[in-house]
Amino acid sequence: MDLMNDLKVRHLFNGSHEHTCFVRFVFMDMLQRDLDECKDRWNKHTIRPVKQSCCPSGKPDVMYHLPHRFGGTDCGFPVSQEQLGQFGTETNNIQCGDEHLQAHFENLQRQCGLAHPQSWESCVENYIKLKNMADL
């Protein structure tokens, strides 16, 4: 994906903290959507049996949730809430990593009434419009 490099070549991204936060703000949802789609497709595709391999065949999702059907073992184990508490959880929804910039970008987005991007092209359009408004 040369999209970010294209932004850099066009002098629309300079690598600064503000620009990095801004890229995250505009593109993160689209990137996550594409990653989720890729994960779903992979987990639902069928792995064909191969004679020279001892690996099981089937759909990864089914193989994970029903390992006994494929000669596997469920190696999961219970974890207490206390143990989970050792790991930090993100309770806020700050995509860009800076709550002040996030609030500023959200305000600009509201001001110009931009729709939530549904494609990479609309992400770039929103990025350019908001970048010009933010004077970045």
How far is the C-alpha of 83 from the C-alpha of 123, rounded, in Å? 39
For 82-132, the pLDDT digits (tens) are 888 888 765 556 677 788 888 888 899 888 888 888 899 999 999 999 998
Instruction: Reduce the DSSP state of residue 58 to 3 states and report it.
Output: strand
Instruction: Reduce the DSSP state of residue 47 to 3 states and report it.
Output: strand
CB 127 within 8 A of CB 12: yes
How far is the C-alpha of 130 from the C-alpha of 116, rounded, in Å? 13
How far is the C-alpha of 85 from the C-alpha of 72, rounded, in Å? 30
How far is the C-alpha of 26 from the C-alpha of 97, rounded, in Å? 12
Instruction: Give residue 98's region: left, alpha or beta (phi > 0; psi -120 to 50).
Output: beta
Q: What is the per-residue pLDDT for 36?
A: 97
Cβ density class 106-130: b for 16+ within 10 Å, e for less: eebbeeeebeebeeeeebbebbeeb
What percent of the chain shows pLDDT beyond 70? 94
CB 3 within 8 A of CB 124: yes
What percent of the chain shows pLDDT beyond 90? 48
